[in-house]
Amino acid sequence: MPPGRNAVLEREVPAPAAATAVERCPLCSGSRRTVLHRLRDPSGRITGDFELLKCEDCAAVYVSPRPADAALTALYDEDFYFSTGWSYDALAEWVMDCIQAARRRRVERHLSSGRLLDVGCGDGRFVQHMARHGWEATGLDFSPSAIVYARRSPSGGRFVQGTLEDYACPGASLDLITLWQVLEHIGEPRRLVRRCHSLLRPGGVLVAAVPNIEGLSARIAGERWWGLDVPRHLVHYTPGTLCGSLESAGFRIVRVRHRSIQYDPYGLLHSSLDRVFTRRHFLSDFAKRNAMDGLPPHEYAYNLAALVALAPLLAPACLATTTVGALVRQGGFIEVHARRR
Ligand SMILES: [Zn+2]
């Protein structure tokens, strides 16, 4: 998930003096658009207003202005990848393993083994899991802290720090490329998709998972939807815009999946609780043990009480709602499988 080439890992982000207005749609180059929302970075780490613009030609949604690469890169620190206050216990490890195993089973419907590149590999769990199951697996991430973390585990796989553009790899040499929650972070995705196409062998498989801006969760939560993640998510997709982008780069779509147990129910719960919290993203801050930072004790107590009282009621409702969304093919997060022609 490379917005920039050189990671500058620091907490304070300078004012976005170099933020640039996005004049044309990153997917179709159209210039006609309407404003969906005006938003701010909920964390306050990047100042200024951002517009979510919907392209009238292709229905892509994108953020303008786009923060400078250095400001964006600083948002991908350890907190982004890892829940830094909590040590994983056995149950959490088991859940994470189940998630990787489910991903592998979906991928292995198309290919049983081969050379895999996971772009935006984060903590490297998927790559390690695939390596343990016989894949020649490489993880690529622009973030040095992600790569250091991934290499700590002895469980296999190779990890490279950098961007796909600069990644040294012969053309048509890969069997599988995975982009788990990556494309929405890329301001100019067409270049990245073309590069994926050139690295895959003919018949090779690309898997791309993204939030769905047309999904039921996005419609219900509106400008509070967790999947918006302004200004880290730069481009938002619908099933149509994602498939269209891949097809125009030379891929054939083989599957569009609407169910995401990992992200969709939590995302809707997060967005729903944000309606009553005094500070947005209190739930994810709480999970990372950052929730007390900068909050007066009485406000923290109120938010904690709201969380304890409402989460048990809302969680089953969010699970049911997102299940319905998936069944009617309006999942909050989608996964597209495509083959290089
Ligand atoms: Zn467009």
Q: Report whether pLDDT(16) > 80.
A: no
- CA distances 308 to 138, 273, 278, 286, Å, are 41, 11, 15, 12
> How far is residue 245's CA from residue 189's CA, in Å, rounded to a whole number?
9
Q: How far is the CA of 282 from the centre of ligand 1 (A)?
A: 34
Is residue 61 very low, low, confident or very high in pLDDT (cuts 50, 70, 90)? very high
CATH code of the domain in which 134 resides: 3.40.50.150
Asked if residue 231 is part of any domain, the answer here is yes
> How far is residue 292's CA from residue 299's CA, in Å, rounded to a whole number?
9
pLDDT of residue 290: 82
Asked if residue 306 is part of any domain, the answer here is no
Asked if residue 38 is part of any domain, the answer here is no
The pLDDT > 90 percentage for the chain reads 75
Tally of domains in the chain: 1
Asked if residue 224 is part of any domain, the answer here is yes
- 134, with CB counted inside 10 A (0-12, 13-18, 19+), is exposed
Range(s) of the domain holding residue 120 = 78-265+321-340
Q: pLDDT: is 46 or 79 the higher one?
A: 46
> How far is residue 265's CA from residue 322's CA, in Å, rounded to a whole number?
6
Q: How far is the CA of 246 from the centre of ligand 1 (A)?
A: 14
Q: Report whether pLDDT(294) > 50.
A: yes
Is residue 82 very low, low, confident or very high in pLDDT (cuts 50, 70, 90)? low
> How far is residue 271's CA from residue 317's CA, in Å, rounded to a whole number?
13
Is residue 277 very low, low, confident or very high in pLDDT (cuts 50, 70, 90)? very high
Q: How far is the CA of 54 from the centre of ligand 1 (A)?
A: 8
pLDDT of residue 88: 58
Q: How far is the CA of 336 from the centre of ligand 1 (A)?
A: 19
Q: How far is the CA of 76 from the centre of ligand 1 (A)?
A: 27
For ligand 1, an ion, list residues with CB under 5 A.
Answer: 25, 27-28, 30, 55, 57-58, 60
Asked if residue 66 is part of any domain, the answer here is no
Asked if residue 46 is part of any domain, the answer here is no
Q: How far is the CA of 338 from the centre of ligand 1 (A)?
A: 21
CB count within 10 Å of CB 291 equals 21
pLDDT of residue 174: 98
Q: What is the pLDDT of residues 1-13, one digit of tens each?
A: 433 333 333 344 4
| C-beta of residue 240 within 8 angstroms of C-beta of residue 55 | no
